[in-house]
């Protein structure tokens, strides 16, 4: 059986990390595409030289030509401009929208059967625009945000409860941004709801609220520390988990920016929801019961996403 092919559009900090992770896990052969000349070729060469040391079999190719992504099984998109300190995700809208247009056309022409994972921010708007520009089915285009957001939430909770991160199952809904909705009632430590752990005196409501706030600002916290870019290790690791779920038909339930039509009272937009990822792509959106507070918070998040979509439509008439 031929090896799978993973195309990475954008070979910057996340793209390079994706290539390294995909190679180490032998997900398939890897094509790194970027508009910057030489850079994807250099990274591909560097990472391929890890192979003899680590003992992985994966061929890597850097390119500036979309033809090289032909027949890719998975395409992960990080092309664009990352957030700089003081810049909101929304400031990125105009620049990254035009990048999505070029990337969407490249995927449509060369890899129309791929499962596409978008990482470029502002995520919920960019994944929608990428789907529109590429014309791929909605179930084959998803955004990576929730896996990262819930990993951030889980990291902070594990520190708070002084337990292994492996035992924390954190649940985050909604858009990727300051309005995301960490849901404590569905967040557990080895099956024990966080709300129960608070009742047991293992933390306080105030501490959990602080952790929720820190999770919402998790990307910004790293931007402020790095000063010259945004997070890349955890975003790349999160997208690789989604790619693996697709390639290995794992049927994992992962929080993804998925196209939601009908469920959660939504009428056709991308927002973070629990999604079954398997060989069919985003196979099913799972609708969970929400209390009034979570419902209200989700609505705020959805309204923020809708506002971004309107802004996109105003910028590019093809999206209207
Ligand atoms: N086509 C292909 N690649 C492009 C294009 C384009 N039209 N425009 C820009 N790029 C490339 C840049 O040359 C750069 O190498 O995208 C890459 C982005 O890499 P970085 O600047 O290192 O950004 P990174 O940290 O990887 O983040 C990428 O993910 O989390 C989001 O907000 C973040 O939108 C940003 C994206």
Nearest-10 Cα torsion for 73, 77, 78, 83:
-150
Supply the mean pLDDT for the chain: 94
Q: What is the DSSP string of 177-204?
A: STT-EE-GGG-EETTEEHHHHHHTTSS-
Q: What is the pLDDT of residues 39-54, one digit of tens each?
A: 999 999 999 999 999 9
Nearest-10 Cα torsion for 310, 179, 149, 93:
30
pLDDT band at residue 84 under the 50/70/90 scheme? low
pLDDT band at residue 189 under the 50/70/90 scheme? very high
Residue 138 falls in the annotated catalytic set = no
CA of 20 to the centre of ligand 1 (A): 16
Per-position b or e across 60-73, b if 16+ CB within 10 A of its CB: bbbbeebebbeebb
Is the pLDDT score of 245 beyond 90?
yes
Is the pLDDT score of 89 beyond 70?
no
Helix axes 205-216, 146-161, angle to 10 degrees: 150
User: For the whole prediction, is pTM greater than 0.95?
Assistant: yes
Q: Write phi, then psi, for 169 (nearest 5 degrees).
A: -115, 100
Is the pLDDT score of 87 beyond 80?
no
Q: What is the DSSP string of 57-81?
A: ---EEEES-GGGGTT-SEEEE--S-
User: Which amino acids are annotated as binding site for NAD(+), given as ranges?
Assistant: 10-15, 34, 96, 119-121
Regarding an ipTM greater than 0.85, the answer is: yes
Beta strand pairing status for 74-77 and 181-182? unpaired
- Nearest ligand 1 atom to the CA of 126 is 34
pLDDT for 168 equals 98
CA of 120 to the centre of ligand 1 (A): 7
Question: Which residues form ligand 1's pocket by a CB distance below 6 Å?
Answer: 9-15, 34-36, 78-80, 82-83, 96, 99, 102-103, 119-121, 229-230, 232, 235
What distances in angstroms separate CA 318 from CA 70, 98, 116, 315, one per listed residue? 25, 11, 21, 9
In the chain, the domains with their CATH numbers are 5-144 (3.40.50.720), 146-313 (3.90.110.10)
CA of 82 to the centre of ligand 1 (A): 6
Write the burial class of residue 167 (CB in 10 Å: 0-12 exposed, 13-18 middle, 19+ buried).
Answer: middle
- Find the catalytic residue in 101, 140, 176, 216: 176
């Amino acid at each position: 059986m031929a090896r799978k092919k993973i195309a990475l559009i954008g070979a910057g900090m996340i793209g390079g990390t994706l290539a390294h992770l995909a190679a180490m896990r032998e997900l398939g052969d890897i094509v790194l595409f970027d508009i910057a000349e030489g850079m994807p070729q250099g990274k591909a060469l560097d990472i391929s030289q890890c192979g003899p040391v680590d003992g992985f079999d994966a061929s890597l190719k850097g390119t500036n030509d979309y033809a090289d992504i032909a027949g890719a099984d998975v395409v992960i998109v990080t092309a664009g401009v990352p957030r700089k300190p003081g810049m909101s995700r929304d400031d990125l809208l105009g620049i990254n929208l035009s990048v999505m247009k070029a990337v969407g056309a490249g995927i449509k022409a060369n890899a129309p059967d791929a499962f596409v994972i978008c990482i470029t921010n502002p995520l919920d708007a960019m994944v929608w625009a990428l789907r529109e520009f590429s014309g791929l089915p909605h179930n084959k285009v998803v955004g990576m945000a929730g896996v990262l957001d819930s990993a951030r939430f889980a990291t902070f909770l594990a520190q708070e409860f002084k337990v292994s991160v492996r035992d924390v199952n954190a649940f985050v809904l909604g858009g990727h941004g300051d309005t995301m909705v960490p849901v404590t009632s569905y967040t557990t430590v080895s099956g024990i709801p966080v709300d129960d752990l608070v009742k047991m005196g293992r933390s306080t409501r105030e501490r959990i609220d602080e952790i929720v706030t820190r999770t919402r600002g998790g990307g910004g916290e790293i931007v402020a520390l790095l000063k010259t870019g945004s997070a890349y290790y955890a975003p790349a690791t999160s997208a690789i988990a989604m790619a693996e779920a697709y390639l290995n038909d794992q049927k994992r339930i992962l929080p993804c920016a998925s196209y939601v039509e009908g469920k959660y009272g939504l009428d056709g937009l991308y927002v973070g929801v629990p999604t079954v990822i398997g060989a069919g792509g985003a196979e099913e959106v799972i609708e969970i019961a929400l209390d009034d507070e979570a419902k209200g918070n989700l609505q705020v998040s959805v309204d923020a996403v809708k506002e971004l979509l309107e802004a996109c439509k105003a910028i590019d008439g093809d999206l209207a």
